[in-house]
Amino acid sequence: MMLRIAKPKVSLRILTHPIFGAPTLTRRSYSSGVKVKQMMVREALNSALDEEMTADPRVFLMGEEVGEYQGAYKVSKGLLHKYGPDRVVDTPITEAGFTGLATGAAYYGLRPVLEFMTFNFAMQAIDHLVNSAAKTHYMSGGNISVPIVFRGPNGAALGVGAQHSQCYAPWYGSVPGLKVVAPYSSEDARGLLKAAIRDPDPVVFLENELLYGESFPVSEEVLDPSFTLPIGKAKIEKEGRDVTITAFSRMVGYALKAAETLAKEDINAEIINIRSIRPLDKSSINASVRKTNRLVTVEEGFPQHGVGAEICASVVEEIFEYLDAPVERITGADVPMPYAANLERMALPQVEDIVRAAKRVCYRSIPIAAAV
């Protein structure tokens, strides 16, 4: 499927604090050490929170069930006992109220980490995210910094229906003043959360419920308290020469599995873990497409105005002459998420969808248009 691209170019800009500037981050976008242990994503998030709360007394955690219950997904396990109720704050079920409270605390120099039980519930508080947190630095002439992290599970889980299965990456990724990240692995989760907490600007941190219990190998470098990952930098999970496949969050795993299948047919796919939705690492994506001359984008969200659509626009606007095939977008179906398990699977991208798309752009199968 080829995307029709509008001609006007839009320059996206992320606001940074004029005094503090950009956060201090490691330049490398991945750990280079030998993997020494397995770590679950929830453990990576927990350790990042713990270390940042120890290092900076201004950091505090707030949200529904983050304290006594130790988090709906046990990400905040042990933090209430260690830091007390003044820094691990259980809230009522009132997203608009505690999001406004946390944003106001950030105005005054504290560093709140606000947990939504799911980002679907953040819709109750979207005015504070989009109009208060994202715009205040700009509207104050750079006088007010808003160092806050909005975090929680994003996208589809299993059998939770249309109202609890939405991907908000394109929603928040379109807002100037926000930084938006979506980790895949334990390394991503730990390094990006620590960077987000230290950042002087508001960061929307999109986790995935189905990844919390997944284990990934991590190195000694990742376990070091000083380890962070740069916001705005993608990671090449697998190098390849024939086709570039971009993905974020849970879909990275699907893309890597698709690459294994493609390798059996002598198609060497390059897999890019986007990590950062805004700012988007267009330079790394473009560099990969210059090498492979083909692009497939993968995401769980709806097709219209999605992250993949933005990547397609960027590639067509900036390096169209390098493309040897139409760009393919793999997305969720353009319908509210079904509840039935069989229909839910049909509404979400699957490994075989990625494989078929990659084979089409490599001219190893019949294009969709020719098959109809």
Give the CATH number, domain containing residue 144: 3.40.50.970
Q: Are strands 203-207 and 149-153 parallel, antiparallel or unpaired?
A: parallel
- DSSP 3-state assignment of 143? coil
Q: Express each pLDDT in 246-292 by its tens digit.
A: 999 999 999 999 999 999 999 999 999 999 999 999 999 999 999 99
- Residues 89, 148 within the same domain: yes
According to the model, what pLDDT value does residue 18 have? 32
Q: Express each pLDDT in 119-145 by its tens digit.
A: 999 999 999 999 999 999 999 999 999
According to the model, what pLDDT value does residue 365 have? 76
Q: Which among 223, 250, 274 is the end of a domain? A: 223
- Is 164 tagged catalytic? yes
Residue bearing tokens 């029709």:
4
According to the model, what pLDDT value does residue 271 have? 98
Q: Express each pLDDT in 34-74 by its tens digit.
A: 768 999 999 999 999 999 999 999 999 999 999 999 999 99
pLDDT at 25 over 60: no
- Is 305 tagged catalytic? no
Q: Which among 223, 251, 285 is the end of a domain? A: 223
Angle (CA) 261-349-353 rounded to 5° is 40
pLDDT at 20 over 60: no
pLDDT at 31 over 90: no
Structure-model confidence comparison of residues 162 and 147, the more confident one = 147
pLDDT band at 7 (very low <50, low <70, confident <90, very high): very low
Residue 26 lies in a domain: no
Using CA atoms, how far apart are residues 111 and 105, in angstroms rounded to an integer? 7
Q: How many CA atoms lie within 13 A of 279 on its CB side?
A: 16
- Residues 115, 219 within the same domain: yes
Nearest to 75 by CA among 86, 91, 64: 64
- Catalytic residue, chosen from 164, 214, 317, 318, is 164
Residue 197 lies in a domain: yes
pTM of the complete model beyond 0.85: yes
Q: Express each pLDDT in 88-98 by its tens digit.
A: 999 999 999 99
- Residues 69, 186 within the same domain: yes
The whole domain housing 259 covers 235-370
pLDDT at 342 over 90: yes
- Residues 69, 122 within the same domain: yes
CATH number at residue 346: 3.40.50.920
Residue 265 lies in a domain: yes
Q: Express each pLDDT in 198-235 by its tens digit.
A: 999 999 999 999 999 999 999 999 999 999 999 999 99
Beta bridge partners of 153: 207
pLDDT band at 366 (very low <50, low <70, confident <90, very high): low
Residue 14 lies in a domain: no
Query: Total structural domains in the chain?
Result: 2
Structure-model confidence comparison of residues 305 and 366, the more confident one = 305
- DSSP 3-state assignment of 305? coil
Residue 253 lies in a domain: yes
According to the model, what pLDDT value does residue 12 have? 31
According to the model, what pLDDT value does residue 370 have? 56
- Catalytic residue, chosen from 43, 51, 95, 237, is 95
pLDDT at 107 over 50: yes
According to the model, what pLDDT value does residue 364 have? 87
According to the model, what pLDDT value does residue 4 have? 32
